[in-house]
Amino acid sequence: MKKSILLMACCLGLFVEGALAQIAPKEEFVSALMERMTLEEKIGQLAQCSYRGNFTGPGGANYSKEDYVREGKIGSMLNVVGVKEIRRFQELALQSRLGIPLIFGLDVIHGYHTGFPIPLAEAASFDLGMIEEAAVCNARESAADGLNWVFAPMADISWDARWGRVMEGAGEDPYYGALVAAARIRGLQGESLADTATVMACLKHFAGYGAPIAGKEYNSVDMSLGQFANFYMPPYKAAVQAGVATVMSAFNDFNNIPCTANDFLLNRLLREQWGFQGFVVSDYNSVEELVNHRYAADKKDAAAKALQAGLDVEMVSTCYLTYLKELIEEGRVKEDVLDKAVRRILEKKYELGLFEDPFRYCNPGRAARVLNAPDIRDASLRMAERSIVLLENKAGVLPLSSKIKSVALIGGLNRSPHDMAGAWAPTTDRSKIITPYDALTRRGLTVNYAEGYNLKTNALDGLEAAMEAARKSDVVIVAIGERASQSGEKAAKVDINLPAGQQQLIAELKKTGKPVIALLMCGRPLIFNDVRRQADAILCTWWLGSEAGNAICNVLWGDYNPSGKLPMTFPAHVGQVPIYYQYKSTGRPATLRQAYVSSYIDSPNEPAYPFGYGLSYTTFEYSGLKVEQGRKAGEHAVVSVDVRNAGKVAGEEVVQLYVQDKVASITRPVKELKGFRKLYLKPGESQTVTFSLTDECLGFYDNNMHYVVEPGDFILMAGKSSRQEDLLQTVFTLE
């Protein structure tokens, strides 16, 4: 019998005739506990401190974390890593008057100990089952090492590759982003938070954080409610519908009110309209930053505004800790508002089973068994293979033939485990990462390695050695792109062009006459027009985590036929950004092909690679797109299309369905993804793919955020990417 249960049961008067009573049902238990709590103890539950490392901004008070925890002034912690440290803090929490256990959270963005592909890469798989399995693995490792809360998934839609955090999301599409967010939440939280192989997920960053003006980190966001509802909101809403336990408010303002103190977002939309039952945590230091937004006069004002707007837990800054008592005693904030927040937090602690056993996540034996377990490594490899996107494959240079015996491997990124882990992977074990260099040498090939360019400056100072390596090899494989640390938070860029030195390197290597394969390693869409012209093949390999090297080799040699599709448009010019496939017609669409239309005079409108694009070692043919006619709103019509593997090898295709509402009461995009299927087809095999045409495929939010489905004609498009030439189309009429 755990001492803590005893303590808690005694506190709550649950100790009956010498035996421990069952812990009372949640509501009863939490009410009884709250009755015993002082004002200070309640405020303590709202305070979250960061222990060490991973500081993602200014702020953080200089107090002893140990003392505060022991005094019951802290309700949750972030950045405490490992069973030993977590147990130490939990023991201190149990020494506080009521012994209320702590929650421990961490940014587990794409793997805990075993690195998984960055979320944008995982999204390229268009494989929801695999994405969910990856999240299950992330949860298992995190929970085995003491955590019960991870700050993921990021569900922010973004159309702007300058913004560094696109690497953390699922890309540009609201329909797909919603499915990915829900899959990740299912994977992280499982069936029950009480299961010690699961963790609480945290939907972030609510809301609109992916649309900072000019792509600049932490910048203001300004969009109409209609725009928000149709393009940015769906993943957040889907996450709440999937039962996400917690939500993080965004740093930015939304409709002129900072999200951290945004009553519309937190109280009205999230709780009243969507029925969210969990608690909301601020982003790092963002309550105090209400003062910098010039929305609060001082920290006391910030505390009052945030709490009243529905913000429960204050991460890092200490406005609640310092001023809430005063604010309540002065009557400026009602104690009832505080009580609601405390209840939400205690309820989650109860659901996690922490009152029954505060150390249920602290089992060193389990940690040793689960971290880097073979099935987790295997899932990481499968996820990585599915995340790779084949962008170019001229004259079928890939897959490489088994006759190739020597490879010129150029570029320091090919040997950099640190980069391979990707940004925002603080706990990934670098010592267990397989780089392309490791994987190629293990295949028994002769690897002639040269750096070519300087990883820090991108200067072409190793050209001669690279040329020499190329001349003596059968094929040249060059890693290009950006360092992992050049994407992620605080890594916004004005220039997303590939550095000139890297482009020149490819041009020079091409002169050797050897096939040149470029591995594009990046956390965001980059621009590399010269490489597109010169390289024989280009694989977008993002940052793939612990099994990166093996996954890349498997794709290069055709052991895995690439099946990824871009979840974000790759621009051809930085001036096109923000760029996305679901743009609107405008009054002067470029399709009119005349002057005075919506276009540029110095660049085409078309991107380098559109959303949904990605090649395979085989080809797929589409035919027979049709739809059952004559349905009314509320009924389902069925759309079908035939897909055939017309090549010589088996492969997977992501069959995409797009819809255009021809005429509507508000302006609508030229097309929107409304369905997709990932199919595996053997050579010569065909399959008829069907989609159910529901109201969700046809309707939209009007300017008052009401969902409407309007009768009329809809153009249905099916094919292999969002590019018009890749799509068959037919018309459907809703009566």
Which residues are marked as active site? 283
In DSSP terms, 448 is beta-bridged to: 408
Query: Which distant-in-sequence residues (6+ apart) come within 8 Å of 488 by Cβ?
Result: 164, 165, 167, 168, 423, 424, 523
Enumerate the β-bridge partners of residue 700: 708
Cα–Cα distance, 398 to 616 (Å, whole number): 10
- For ligand BGC, the closer of residues 103 and 520 by Cβ is 103
- 651, β-bridge pairs: 681
Candidate ranges 52-60, 178-186, 454-462, 568-576; the one touching ligand BGC (CB under 6 A): 52-60
Element (H, E) at 662: none
Neighbours of 559 (CB within 10 A): 12
Q: SS3 breakdown of the chain: % helix, strand, coil, rounded to 5? A: 35, 20, 45
407 bridge partner residues: 447, 475
Closest to 111 measured CA to CA, from 374, 422, 363, 415? 422
Q: Considering beta carbons, is residue 49 or 407 the nearer one to ligand BGC?
A: 49
Q: What's the burial of 34, exposed, middle or buried (CB within 10 Å: 0-12/13-18/19+)?
A: middle
Identify whether 205 is preceded by a cis peptide bond (ω within 30 of 0). Answer: yes
| Number of Cβ within a 10 Å radius of residue 454 | 14
| Per CB under 6 A, 151 contacts ligand BGC | yes
- Give the residue with the Cβ less far from ligand BGC, 488 or 571: 488
Residues binding ligand BGC: number (CB under 6 A) = 10
Specify the residue, 141 or 283, whose C-beta has the smaller distance to ligand BGC: 283
Q: Is 283 in the site for ligand BGC (CB under 6 A)?
A: yes
310: left (phi over 0), alpha (psi -120 to 50) or beta: left
Rounded to the nearest whole angstrom, what is the least distance from the CB of residue 46 to ligand BGC in the complex? 17
Q: How far is the CB of 403 from ligand BGC (least distance, A)?
A: 48
Which of 425/627 has CB closer to ligand BGC? 425
* Closest listed residue to residue 673, CA positions, set 609, 723, 622: 723
Determine, following the binding rule CB under 6 A, whether residue 289 of this chain makes contact with ligand BGC.
no
x-or-dash pattern for ligand BGC, window 507-546, by CB under 6 A? ----------------------------------------
CB of 56 to ligand BGC, least distance (A): 3
Least CB distance to ligand BGC at residue 165 (A): 8
Among 56, 282, 541, 561, binds ligand BGC (CB under 6 A): 56
Q: SS3 sequence, 665-676?
A: CCCCECCEEEEE
Give the residue among 129, 174, 133, 170 at the shortest CA–CA distance from 153. 170
Are 114 and 380 in contact, with CB atoms under 8 Å apart?
Answer: yes
How far apart, in whole angstroms, are the C-alpha atoms of residue 723 and residue 671?
10
CB 376 within 8 A of CB 140: yes
Choices 51-59, 113-121, 645-653, 661-669 (CB under 6 A): range interacting with ligand BGC:
51-59
253 binds ligand BGC (CB under 6 A): no
Q: For ligand BGC, which is the closer residue by CB, 60 or 501? A: 60
**C-beta of 539: minimal distance to ligand BGC in Å?**
29
Binding mask 439-478 for ligand BGC (x = CB under 6 A): ----------------------------------------
Decide if residue 156 touches ligand BGC (CB under 6 A): no
- Give the per-residue contact string, 576-595, with ligand BGC (x = CB under 6 A; - = no): --------------------
* Stretch 202-221: interaction string toward ligand BGC, x if CB under 6 A: --x-----------------
Binding mask 70-109 for ligand BGC (x = CB under 6 A): --------x----------------------------x--
Of 261 and 627, which has the nearer Cβ to ligand BGC?
261
Q: Is residue 489 involved in binding ligand BGC (CB under 6 A)?
A: yes
Cβ at position 160, least distance to ligand BGC in Å: 17
Q: Is 652 helix (H, G, I), strand (E, B) or coil?
A: strand
Which residue number places its CB atom closest to ligand BGC?
Answer: 56
* CA atoms within a 13 Å half-sphere pointing along the CA-CB vector of 133: 16
In 3-state terms, what secondary structure has residue 107? coil
**Does position 57 bind ligand BGC by CB under 6 A?**
yes
Cβ proximity to ligand BGC: between 205 and 720 the closer is 205
User: Which positions lie near ligand BGC, rule CB under 6 A?
Assistant: 54, 56-57, 78, 107, 151, 204, 283-284, 489
